[in-house]
Structure 1
Amino acid sequence: MNKKTALISTGAIGALSIGALGLIGNYFYNLALNPNTSKDSIFGTPEEAKSTSGEVLNKNVDWLLNKSNFSNEYIKSFDNLKLHAYKILNEIPTNKWIITVHGYTSKGLDMSGYAKNFYETGYNVLIPNLRGHGKSEGSYIGMGWYDRLDITKWINLILNIDENAQIILHGVSMGASTVLMTSGEDLPYNIKAIIADCGYTSVWAQFSHQLNVLYSLHSFPIMNASSAVTKLKAGYTLKEASALKQVAKSKTPILFIHGDKDDFVPYSMMEELYDATTSPKEKLTIEGAGHAKASKVNPELYWSTIENFIDKYLN
């Protein structure tokens, strides 16, 4: 084989390799971040997908839709998406607000149990549908990264209603990582505390974990290819979407909650996030709880810890 032929062969192999990686990256992008693609290979059933926000009870959904006197609220995102949230004003006037954020492939309605509990504790409640979920527009799942900017817009909506609002951010699973990513932004003094229930450290770390669990594959080169496709289609890379980097900039007190039997978002991630946080912080382990099951396994400890933590920072 002469030099010219060898170069052509090498170039062809390289082109084929790049093409194959592109196809692989696109496959995993669609699997993980396209909201219109079935997630059965990740969760098994739609019911398991809903559980990324915890236990969803019909009685709580009925309360939200038929008894809470909610209103529909909308904002425009920085990239011109129409985003939706449920707003519930407490029957007893208050300046205490909770923004409670759902998990991966879930929706705002699936946070109805948390919303009801916060409402009964005396809060006004805002429940966003994250981009690509529920009634919100979006052609990709933001995994918390662009969602953090959306949350700051929801904060501004509350402040336009009540400039003296005292706002708590609460999230479960992807919702937890969303509020943790929000923590690193320049937030108004009205944000008093953050509760993060079973959040992941970064999108790269979470997807790498699932790649290994589901397919017994290493992150290289699949994660690299998937990240490149994500940058092309969604505008962000999987490595930049990091809750770890954001909590290191946080000035807001954060309570971390995680079940020690969580095998979807590894329990060890709570320790990493806690160690990286520079603001006031606490952590709670719920023994025997799987992913997003902390409030079900030990509701008394879950809610009393949240209440005691919040009380330290409300005026």
Structure 2
Amino acid sequence: MLNIILTALFKLGLIVLVIGAIAYFCACLFLFFRQTRFIFFPSRLISITPDDVGLTYENIELKIPIPSGKVEIVHCWWVPSKFNSEKVIIDLHGNRNNIGANVGYAKQFNQMGLSVLLVEYRGYGRSTDRFPSEKTVYEDVEVAWNYLVNERQFNPHNIYVFGHSLGGAIAINLASNHPEIAGLIIESSFTNIRQMVNYKKKYWMFPINLILTQRFDSLAKVPILKMPILFTHGTEDELIPQSMTEALFTAAIEPKQLLIVSGAGHNNVRQVGGEQYWQTVEQFLT
């Protein structure tokens, strides 16, 4: 009788283990195929435009051919300099919201005399409605770069790039392909997605190194960059720790600057930083 009970318990335990293993494998597959949904949170609703802050601008639609033969659109706003400046800055938003989130930055850059190209990745706002990935956002920004150089005829040495949060990682990747970029401003960004996973402490039970395809590894790219870089971050950032920007700064070679804004969160570094922030940015750009 005891043997029968033990045999039954063994079989039951074996069934539980098999079911658990299958569930774990399915969870791994889910994370592998759906990981972009944990990184990108695109919004189609544009709640603010350059018009709302008194800027003259133009809607630009940049075309990207895809393997199917169709053409997809990267929507941008072009804000020309009031002073016919030869300098321009590419403005890259983060993983949430869309192009409208960076209108305040565009106004400040324009007041400093620069033209501004705000780029909206596919999946966001008025760009083609397809869910983004690391590969597609890199392609989108490359198209924007080519537009400035080939169509607007800007000297690459006069092109700066600003990236907030995920936009910072995209800016760093663009710079790794174009060493002639005049300079980078990287705000509230992270080292790489692998370290962000560690920081969030949500997926410790999964083999992340095997699952992860969306890496955004800025920490590996920063040491090869030779253009000036300004890193900014807030001490009260609730999404990305200040230590990640400090790690990027340490990994970067000279010339480089670091501005830590006391009391600033993830999305209000420029507001909390105030005059000190904009003086630092203006000195960097000039």
TM-score by length of 1: 0.74
Residue ranges of structure 1 left out of the alignment (5+ in a row): 38-45, 51-55, 228-236
The yes-or-no answer on 1:306 pairing with 2:267 is no
Residue pair 2:41, 2:95 contacting (<8 A) in 1 also: no
Report the CA distance between 1:59 and its aligned residue: 8.6
Report the CA distance between 1:73 and its aligned residue: 3.2
82, 99, 109: which one pairs with 1:91?
Answer: 82
205, 209, 234: which one pairs with 1:259?
Answer: 234
205, 209, 212: which one pairs with 1:220?
Answer: 205
Q: Which residue of 1 aligns with 2:111?
A: 120
Higher-Rg member (1/2) = 2
1:1-315 alignment to 2 at 5 Å? 14-23=21-30, 29-33=36-40, 35=42, 62-63=52-53, 67-76=55-64, 81-137=72-128, 139-142=130-133, 146-160=136-150, 161-164=152-155, 166-185=158-177, 187=178, 189=180, 191-210=181-200, 212=201, 217-221=202-206, 223=208, 227=212, 237-238=213-214, 240-311=215-286
Q: One-letter code of the match for 2:105? A: Y
What is the percent sequence identity of the aligned residues? Answer: 24
Q: State the distance in 1 between where 2:238 and 2:83 align.
A: 40
Report the CA distance between 1:115 and its aligned residue: 0.7
Residue pair 1:169, 1:193 contacting (<8 A) in 2 also: yes
Report the CA distance between 1:22 and its aligned residue: 2.7
The 3 A distance-change label for structure 1 pair 167 and 32 is closer
Q: One-letter code of the match for 2:58? A: F
Indicate the structure whose relative CO is greater, using CA pairs within 8 Å and at least 6 residues apart: 1
Residue pair 2:122, 2:137 contacting (<8 A) in 1 also: yes
- Tell me the SS of whatever aligns to 1:90: coil
Q: 1:178-204, CA deviations, whole angstroms, 9 ceiling, x for partnerless residues?
A: 21222222x152x10000011111122
Q: State the distance in 2 between where 1:78 and 1:27 align.
A: 22
- Tell me the SS of whatever aligns to 2:91: strand
The 3 A distance-change label for structure 1 pair 249 and 24 is closer
Residue ranges of structure 2 left out of the alignment (5+ in a row): 1-6
Q: Which sits farther off after the overlay, 302-311 or 20-29?
A: 20-29
Q: CA RMSD in A?
A: 3.2
TM-score by length of 2: 0.81
